[in-house]
Structure formats: structure tokens, C-alpha cells
Chain A
Amino acid sequence: NAGVTQTPKFQVLKTGQSMTLQCAQDMNHNSMYWYRQDPGMGLRLIYYSASEGTTDKGEVPNGYNVSRLNKREFSLRLESAAPSQTSVYFCAGERGDNSEKLFFGSGTQLSVL
């Protein structure tokens, strides 16, 4: 039981490159989330998925796309990376019940040069 697993842990991109951040959970979570965290800031929600096959925008969705192809996996794609997307990205999952709690992955540190 690995919980919420994010890959990669570190990534360096050049401006304009694309990449996909992977997130997988084995906790039977219905809802999954992608957050970003900039230095000295709290977490800001990028996208979330309340259930398999559905996705919704969060606070800062511009420049990102997501895919929830199955219950376990929720990926975040940067089509054309920009320096402003340098951040630490966290994936989280929860069962979706109002009284439930989020479990977070260990984060992906992304630098865009």
C-alpha cells in the first residue's frame, strides 16, 4: 500500500518543452487533486477530479491540462512550459465523502529555465 505516488520527484525543463507529471493512488480514492506551491506561499489548486472521467478547474488552471483516465491515475500536463510554472507540485487523493481527508504525495519539484 504505497498511498499517493508522484513521479518524477525532480524535473528540469527548458521553456517551451512539454511534460506530464504522473500521480497514482492505491487507496480507492474517488477524488484527486493537483496543487502547486511557490516559495513562501500556501497551496493553490490547479485542477481536481471528483470521480473517474471528470475534471474541473481550480484556482490556477491556465497553462495546464489534466487527465483522469481511470480511478487510480490523475496526470498533469504542461504543453509548453514557462518559467512561471517553476514550482513544487503536489497530488492528493480522497474518497470524496464530506468527512474525509486528503492524502498527499511527496511532491514534484519542477524548474523551468
Chain B
Amino acid sequence: DAKTTQPPSMDCAEGRAANLPCNHSTISGNEYVYWYRQIHSQGPQYIIHGLKNNETNEMASLIITEDRKSSTLILPHATLRDTAVYYCIVRVAQGGSEKLVFGKGTKLTVNP
């Protein structure tokens, strides 16, 4: 089972910031939070990841709460091309190997 909880869908106006929340209350100290997105039927695309500090790159910002039980992905100026399913993932370790387990994600619709 996925270790994260996300709202199934969200809407955002074009040009506005999109704030996508994720709960991961059972995260352990050495687990990272990853965000991916999937546009239509393409393969998922990496966006950003973090451990405990806030992170920013050319695509988005990641805000992780101090207790690490939740995080928010921020798309500062959403465009129509940002319409996609966004997945928040916590790494799951098993037998010394690492794997990513995807949940159902949040369907973000950016409206004109």
C-alpha cells in the first residue's frame, strides 16, 4: 500500500500558484519524499524530492513540515501544460533494496 494520502483532484487557474498537499504521517527518519507527475498517458516524470529541508528547482518547490508528516508541492505559476496527475511518494525499503510505490495521485486541472 502507498504510504501517502493525496486529494483525488484539484483545480487551479492558469497563472496562479498550484499547491498540492500530501500526508505521509508514518514516514521514517531516513525516507525521502518524492513528487512525480504523469501527463495524459505518458510515462511519469520526476519533479522534485526532499528529506527535511524545503527544496526548489526549475519546475517546483517542495515544502516539508517540521515534523515531516506532510508536504506541499508548489507550482508557482501554473500553465495549461501542468494539467496532469501528481504523485507524492515516500520511499519504501524492502530487503535492502529501495523501490517506489505509487498511489493514485492528485489529478490537477489547470483552467484558462
Q: List residues of chain A with CB under 8 Å of any chain B CB.
A: 4, 31, 33, 35, 41-45, 48, 50, 56, 58-59, 88, 90, 92, 96, 98-99, 101-107, 109
A42 B94 Cβ-Cβ under 8 A: no
Bound Cα distance A106, B29 (Å): 33
**Most chain A CB atoms below 10 A, which of B44, B94, B104, B105:** B44
Contact (Cβ within 8 A) B49 A99: yes
B81 at the interface (CB under 8 A from A): no
Task: Determine the chain A residues whose CB is within 8 A of the CB of B95 once the complex forms.
Answer: 56
Q: B31 CB to closest chain A CB, in angstroms?
A: 9
27 A-B residue pairs with Cβ-Cβ distance under 8 Å, sorted by A, are A33-B99, A33-B100, A42-B2, A42-B85, A42-B102, A45-B99, A45-B100, A50-B97, A50-B98, A56-B99, A59-B101, A90-B44, A96-B98, A98-B30, A98-B32, A98-B91, A99-B49, A101-B34, A102-B36, A102-B100, A104-B43, A104-B44, A105-B43, A106-B42, A106-B43, A107-B41, A107-B43
- Decide: A56 and B97 in contact? CB cutoff 8 A: yes
Residues on the B chain within 8 Å of A4, using CB: 43
Q: Which residues of A contact B2 (CB under 8 A)?
A: 42
Please measure, in the bound complex, the distance between the C-alpha atom of A107 and the C-alpha atom of B40, giving whole angstroms.
Answer: 12
Contacting residue for B105 out of A42, A58, A99, A107, CB 8 A: A42
Q: Which among B43, B49, B96, B101 is the interface contact of A92 at CB below 8 angstroms?
A: B43
List B contacts of A42 (CB < 8 A): 2, 85, 87, 102-105
Residues of A within 8 A of B91 (CB): 98
Q: How far is the CA of A107 from the CA of B44 in the complex (A)?
A: 10
Query: Which of the residues A35, A43, A107 comes within 8 Å of B42, measured between beta carbons?
Result: A107
A45, B101: Cβ atoms closer than 8 Å? yes
Check if B45 is an interface residue, CB within 8 A of chain A. Answer: yes
Query: CB within 8 Å of A: which of B45-104?
Result: 45-46, 49, 85, 87, 91, 94-104
CB within 8 Å for A102 and B44 given contacts A42-B2, A59-B101: yes
Contacts of B105 in A (CB 8 A): 42
Contact B44–A31 (Cβ < 8 Å): no
